[in-house]
Amino acid sequence: MNLFDNVSEMGHEQVLFCHGKDPDIKAIIAIHDTTLGPAMGATRLYPYANEEAALKDALRLSRGMTYKAACANIPAGGGKAVIIANPKHKTDDLLHAYGRFIQRLNGRFITGQDMNLTPEDVRTISKETKYVVGVEEKSGGPAPVTAWGVFLGIKAAIKYQLKTVDLQGIKVAIQGLGNVGKYLCQHLYEHGAKLYVTDVSYEKTQEVKHIFGATVVEPEEIYSQDADIFSPCAIGGILNSQTIPQIRASIIAGAANNQLGQEKLHGRMLSDRNITYCPDYVINAGGLINVYNEMIGYNEEVAFQQVNSIYDTLLEIFTRAEQDSITTNDAAKQIAEDRISKAKNVKNQPKITTAVM
């Protein structure tokens, strides 16, 4: 693997290899872009098969965070950290050592909890650094804000695809009735949408059936529902070569992360079928916006207001994708890159100074 080629091809500013002997720690912190603000990205602890796999994950995920923050219109950049370790060997000493690496970056990188780290672990890391988020959830959790963003995304998508602003009678098939799915059902129900829902938990489906009059279907039947919108709010990878041909909805708008099995192949399959796909990292950015607001001092009203921009950004994405005959995912990346280069140009402009005689 040619290290610098990889880093420069993906446009990273800095990649740090953190190593210590006592305790034994190997971590990689990838800072992709800080033009818009400090790099934000959660830390993943994972027993990678080799160091190359760990580096690839950090590089790929940190670039994704740059796009996500830029599309969310928050003054933050993209980063990601991976600790190469077996979760069984996770110790407080290791977390303390990791926290010291973060602190040394002095705020250039702000992190939180991802795979194999718990809120308790984040609290341990925070003993060494103030640059962690999610230590105490000041907002009561991100799900309500995320669900509001998804609801606005659905409104943008029906305006673009169905040429209506009215959700009355619009049929929405929702996969997953967890923290986000349930709040989303409530917004849709209050605006007159008809709900078709599924979850692997029988209790959750029954609750939503009773509260919102939803029709419950089996998990494997959710794709082929005669619905206007399919809203994946459960797990990733569910838009793939098996499921896409079954989808009858003309809009896909949901909270789940990494919905496309293979980004290029399945993004293209959706656009060839004239399905308007809301890129997951744009429509579910309410979570990141919420975390960002916790960091700067939480104000619920401000957090919800910032989420409103998801509506306009998605309309911009749909229009660009149509004009340039590209997928919505590619259009979203272009818009993120435009926002970053605009900010770079402003920073590089010569300062006008007034001479006082």
Q: Give the interface size with ligand NAD as a residue count (CB under 6 A).
A: 24
Bridge partner residues of 196 (DSSP): 173, 215
Which region, judged by CB under 6 A, interacts with ligand NAD, from 49-57, 255-263, 268-276, 335-343? 255-263
Q: For ligand NAD, which is the closer residue by CB, 119 or 169?
A: 119
List the one residue from 43, 113, 124, 175 that touches ligand NAD (CB under 6 A).
175
| Closest to 303 measured CA to CA, from 144, 183, 159, 173 | 144
Which region, judged by CB under 6 A, interacts with ligand NAD, from 102-110, 132-140, 254-262, 294-302? 254-262
Residue identified by tokens 């994946």 is 232
Bond into 350 cis (ω within 30): no
- Say how far apart CA 353 and CA 227 lie, in whole Å: 60
Question: Binding to ligand NAD by residue 233, rule CB under 6 A?
Answer: yes
Q: For ligand NAD, which is the closer residue by CB, 35 or 62?
A: 62
- Say how far apart CA 4 and CA 244 lie, in whole Å: 38
Question: Binding to ligand NAD by residue 219, rule CB under 6 A?
Answer: yes
Q: For ligand NAD, which is the closer residue by CB, 198 or 276?
A: 198
Helix axes 309-324, 328-348, angle to 10 degrees: 110
Question: Binding to ligand NAD by residue 201, rule CB under 6 A?
Answer: yes
Which region, judged by CB under 6 A, interacts with ligand NAD, from 5-13, 170-178, 188-196, 313-321? 170-178
Question: Binding to ligand NAD by residue 178, rule CB under 6 A?
Answer: yes
List the one residue from 3, 235, 265, 296 that touches ligand NAD (CB under 6 A).
235
Question: Binding to ligand NAD by residue 211, rule CB under 6 A?
Answer: no
Q: How far is the CB of 65 from ligand NAD (least distance, A)?
A: 12
Question: Binding to ligand NAD by residue 204, rule CB under 6 A?
Answer: yes
Q: For ligand NAD, which is the closer residue by CB, 6 or 139?
A: 139
The question of whether 155 is a catalytic residue gets the answer no
Active-site choice (56, 68, 80, 194): 80
Question: Binding to ligand NAD by residue 195, rule CB under 6 A?
Answer: no
Q: How far is the CB of 146 from ligand NAD (least distance, A)?
A: 3
Q: For ligand NAD, which is the closer residue by CB, 5 or 218?
A: 218
List the one residue from 64, 78, 176, 279 that touches ligand NAD (CB under 6 A).
176
Which region, judged by CB under 6 A, interacts with ligand NAD, from 15-23, 114-122, 153-161, 228-236? 228-236
Residues annotated as catalytic (active site), given as ranges:
80
Residues near ligand NAD, by CB under 6 A: 142-143, 146, 175-181, 198-201, 204, 219, 233-235, 255-257, 284, 287
